[in-house]
Structure 1
Amino acid sequence: MKQANYTKNLSLAWCQVILDAVADTGASHVFMSPGYRDAPFAAVLQEHPRLTTVSCMDERASGYMALGAAKAHQRPAVLICTSGTAVANYLPAVIEAHKESIPLIVLSCDRPIELIHSGANQTIDQSQVLGAFLKDYLGLPSPEDQISAPTLRAMLTRSLEQGLIFPRGVVHINVPLRAPLEPQEYKTDRSQAFINSMASLRPTIIEGQSTREPKGKVGRLEDLIHRAERGLIILGRLDESADRVAIEELVRGLSWPCLADIGSSFKGHLDNLVDAELPQTQEWLETYQPDAVLHLGRHLVSKYWDIYLQKRPNLPYVVVSPEAGSQNPAFTAYTHIRSEDYQFLDGLALPEQKSATEGMRAWMENASELVARYPHLTLPGLAQLIMKHSHSQNLFLGNSSSIRAFDTWYFDSPQHVKRVDANRGASGIEGLVSTATGLALASGEAWDVVLGDVSMIHDLNSLFQLSISPAPLRVFLVNNNGGQIFRKLPLGQFPSVLNPLVTTPHEFNFQGVAQSAGLAYKVVETKDALLALLQKAPRAPELIEVPVKIEDDLELFDAIKTLPRRKVL
């Protein structure tokens, strides 16, 4: 019988105990980047029955792939890297995980502690690299035969539990390893004693505590509902685990007007929706003057709700979300029910209400028809066609113009799309392809991805991982030659400031990059060509470049703004 790698030396034995503890959290995917100091983990992972290992050349891309996998499974994903600057490349993904309460486990391999500050090669103090964005940090000693396997396991369990306690987050475990790093025999009597003590360890379940808010705050929610004469519901981004049935029953039962973020996955599915981003909606809010607001989920993509709130600092406002900190950039008075469980909404007694959105709904239908009739391919037109005709049930949206196109200009019922995801914790434009690849890898499902050209340039390393993804991932690259969203903002009146430092125009050859990565590539320049492509289900990863002109977007936006106003109350 072949000897297990972990029994060959103390470093491998420690790595086995660490990985067993990690697997007990429910983690199933490990994203490992190359190096020599992490070779013991590589040797043990080859034989680990509960963990699937994904090889990732680039640590920054690896961090975002793990983020996507953790989103898909709603349980931790694991990152392993070598010593030195490698762990610093995880920082952007760790920040996003921190902001969105997504569980990640970072295992950074290190040189022994006596080499820190000695001038030794590829050696830095790794203890504070991710510090501000962690739920817990555990700095292990180098493998010591004086520490038994049960003791090491207890240290790991305490730290890993912290990452799973509501609100969940990132745990960083630093693992200094001594030579030999290869799976070769190197044992003493005491190291053999450690290996022998591993026999007493058994698989267990490491989990954190969920949080349910006290009944007093739920009572305030009922009081808010029954006192309201002109209520308003906000549906922000919802985690995949959210009880959508309970939320939908509440929204339909109340019949209050509803502002739904594209990340709620309710956009287009409810009759009482209005759109926060449109000028007409902002006028409608001034007329409607809600006297109570119930906000379910995280913060909205649109900034206009925050602007309205600043005018109504004493508006009765209840937020139900898993957000760890404040969810109120307007700094108004509000009640925050921190919960990742929306089931308690089932028991609320609802008064009879009448919808106040008929006029707005009719106006949005007119706007939708205008987008459909516009002859050129624009971002609003792209959003409309993908939501109506894509065969994929899953949609991942890039930040900046991409997510705003779907959040603002899509009003109809989607044909197939059921889940919409995005990295909105810190709203960065890097790592988007990587995150979507991790989502597809962990879920085993097809995904459509829409992002801009600047975002793609920030994530070129991920195209290699995308090309070998087993799940059909279709990336729509909207190329408007730089950060043209800024032309829609007040800064657009100052072209000398805008170009080139803000818009960063380019002549990048995306086809050449796709070919280098071995990735299928297409270019789509008309609405008819896009529709024909969408009517075919994707079978393998592909990059689809969609050139659009900012002038067409601006012309369409101006036409929508001048649609006849309707009486909305």
Structure 2
Amino acid sequence: MKYPKIPLAQTVIQLCKAKGIKHIIISPGSRSAPLTIGFTNNPYFKCYSIVDERCAAFFALGIAQQLQEPTAVVCTSGSALLNYYPAVAEAFYSDIPLLVLSADRPKHLIGVGDGQTINQPNVFENHILYSANLKLDLDDQAEEEEELPIFKNLENKLETLLGLKQGIQEYNEVEINKAINIASSKHGPVHINIPFDEPLYDMIDEPTVHPKTISIEENILQIEPSVLNDCIKNWSEASKKMILVGVSQPNTIEQKWLDTLANDDSVIVFTETTSNLHHEDFFPSIDKIIAPFNNENFINLQPDILLTFGGLIVSKKIKAFLRKYKPKHHWHVDTKKANDTFFSLDKFIKTTPNQFLENLLDDVSKARESDYKHTWTSIKSIRLNKHNDYLKAINFSDLKAFEVILNAIPDDTILQLGNSSTVRYAQLFDLNSTLEVFCNRGTSGIDGSTSTAIGCAVANAKQTTLISGDLSFIYDSNALWNNYIPNNFRIIVINNQGGGIFRILPGHKNTENFDAYFETKHRLSAEHLCKMYGFEYNSVSNESNLIYNLNSFYSLGNQPKLLEVFTPKNLNDEVLLQYFKFIGQ
């Protein structure tokens, strides 16, 4: 087996292996050659070559999202590193462990006009859990004058050089261990900046350093007794309790606690599409339920207690409801952080949802008598009937397309949703409970949905389907420049010839200014991209063709498949706006 000659590269690679980091996504470059040599020559690592660094980082994020363990990206020096930033920000807000390994030039070559140099240390400082800025190795002849004292004799010089080398090696080992441990234990992105001097391509047969592995310190989370007692008291007394669950991994909460909550008439549980939480007595499709409410409805249904789990919330309507009609108490349960989304947070309970519910529900003697859940259930039933009536009556449009598409996704598969209108349309439907649903809601950007979905498809044996809007898909089209896409991967592009969500938002539609700068009207198609990248391509523009094509879309084939669904851009917004009026009648 071959190793890079540079000890610092050996140290990084050995510690990645010791920490169980297996998936390495490499973008080509010269300064990063020592890392590339080391990772690709070690059979332990699964290495991927992806040229576009932005796509590479989102691809890695998709793998880490599924495995819930650090995935590494490797790049050369300069602007290559900056292309990781969108995925780093997404990982930061979505609590996904991403390990950024950037090669850098030595200090003396930075700020002097040398090529491919920028100020790389701490470049992600506002969106990173930890930045490790490693030190350049010293060989027996090398010396950076600002780091060495004036020597009286050669013996003193050699002794000092030896001490410096050992000190630098120990420093680098500690920093690498710390960064990887933080990514693993706190679930988020970390950055290790690694300076290399030439020569970069030399290899040896045996490593010259054997770095020390530092274990993660276990942190046992326990709820303060006084906090728990206060929660139990308030929970027992409240007759209107609302639980709202945002982005969550599948199987986050044990079924017995879900059943207990579902059997309490004073509790309603709102679940978002990305919550991966299901129960027949829960309340998905939040916007469908509350969109037609008037002030009297909101006042009557204002919760006494709001309990939140999971990540960021998609629904703007539930945010508006709870920000104006604030609960008396808002508690958020999480091991890491709490967002004051509704400007009423009074308790951040630092533990897991399972642990909190066990402590809370085991000590609540009986469910509080209340008509709160019954009232909400009646509303849900009325809305669902109106929803079904409306969908039967409308012409082909985005809304109708989503109904057909979501009903056709196979059981026990993964659904990746693009941002903007895609995830919001999906929120209007009660999805198949066997699906695992993901979306980049950390920053809610359109920039990496396809790359993330492909990373997910590579990491998980289950079939993955991506539903994307046309702008999001085109924006991230370099994601298809990827040699690892499994044949069972599926993409459905809803092409409404522009940013359709802007037609729903307030603004002056159907003007030249709106078309160019908001909706960004276009006539592009995915067909030629599919030919270039080896996808099987089909397109439809009506309901019957959509149903027909979906019948064979998920069948096995020798290529990944893409189905492009063209919808009438001048009709979609009116269909959706009339939908909310109709279900409230």
Fold conserved (TM > 0.5)? yes
State the Cα distance separating 1:337 from its structure 2 match: 1.8
- 2:71 match: 77
Matched, 1:160 2:176: no
State the Cα distance separating 1:445 from its structure 2 match: 2.2
State the Cα distance separating 1:150 from its structure 2 match: 5.9
State the Cα distance separating 1:295 from its structure 2 match: 1.8
Match of residue 269, structure 2, among 258, 267, 280: 258
Q: What is the rounded CA distance, in whole Å, between the counterparts of 1:538 and 1:183 in structure 2? A: 48
Q: Which has the larger radius of gyration?
A: 2
Matched, 1:499 2:515: yes
Match of residue 474, structure 1, among 490, 513, 537: 490
| Equivalences for residues 209-358 of structure 1 within 5 A | 209=219, 211-240=221-250, 242-245=252-255, 248-255=258-265, 256-266=267-277, 269-273=279-283, 275-278=285-288, 280=291, 282-283=293-294, 284-313=297-326, 315-322=328-335, 324=337, 326-347=338-359, 348=361, 349=364, 350-353=366-369, 355-356=373-374, 357-358=376-377
Greater displacement, 65-74 / 244-253: 244-253
Q: What is the rounded CA distance, in whole Å, between the counterparts of 1:520 and 1:142 in structure 2? A: 49
Matched, 1:436 2:456: no
Partner of 1:450, secondary structure, is strand
- 2:127 match: 133
Match of residue 488, structure 1, among 476, 487, 504: 504
Match of residue 414, structure 1, among 432, 444, 447: 432
Greater displacement, 548-557 / 70-79: 548-557
State the Cα distance separating 1:245 from its structure 2 match: 2.6
Task: Output one character per residue of 1:480-537: Cα deviation in whole Å (capped at 9) or x when no partner.
Answer: 1111211112224684652321111011132112212222211122333333343443
Greater displacement, 488-497 / 21-30: 488-497
Matched, 1:5 2:18: no
Q: One-letter code of the match for 1:550?
A: K
Q: What is the rounded CA distance, in whole Å, between the counterparts of 1:159 and 1:507 in structure 2? A: 46
- 1:508 match: 524
Partner of 2:547, secondary structure, is helix
Question: Alpha carbon RMSD of aligned pairs, Å?
Answer: 2.7
Give the TM-score normalised by structure 1.
0.88
Aligned length: 544
Q: What is the rounded CA distance, in whole Å, between the counterparts of 1:459 and 1:336 in structure 2? A: 37
> Is the Cα–Cα contact under 8 Å of residues 389 and 415 in structure 1 kept in the other structure?
no
Task: Output one character per residue of 1:185-229: Cα deviation in whole Å (capped at 9) or x when no partner.
Answer: 69xxxxx9xx4442xx57775566464443433333323321111
Change (3 A) 1:414 1:144: same
Give the TM-score normalised by structure 2.
0.85
Greater displacement, 382-391 / 492-501: 492-501
Change (3 A) 1:494 1:530: closer
Matched, 1:390 2:406: no
Structure 1: give runs of 5+ residues left out of the alignment: 187-191
Q: What is the rounded CA distance, in whole Å, between the counterparts of 1:258 and 1:528 in structure 2? A: 36
Q: What is the rounded CA distance, in whole Å, between the counterparts of 1:382 and 1:445 in structure 2? A: 24
Partner of 2:300, secondary structure, is helix
Q: One-letter code of the match for 2:269?
A: C
Greater displacement, 223-232 / 30-39: 223-232
Structure 2: give runs of 5+ residues left out of the alignment: 140-161
Change (3 A) 1:469 1:275: closer
> Is the Cα–Cα contact under 8 Å of residues 448 and 476 in structure 2 kept in the other structure?
yes
State the Cα distance separating 1:81 from its structure 2 match: 0.3
> Is the Cα–Cα contact under 8 Å of residues 391 and 535 in structure 1 kept in the other structure?
no
| Equivalences for residues 539-550 of structure 1 within 5 A | 539=556, 540-550=559-569
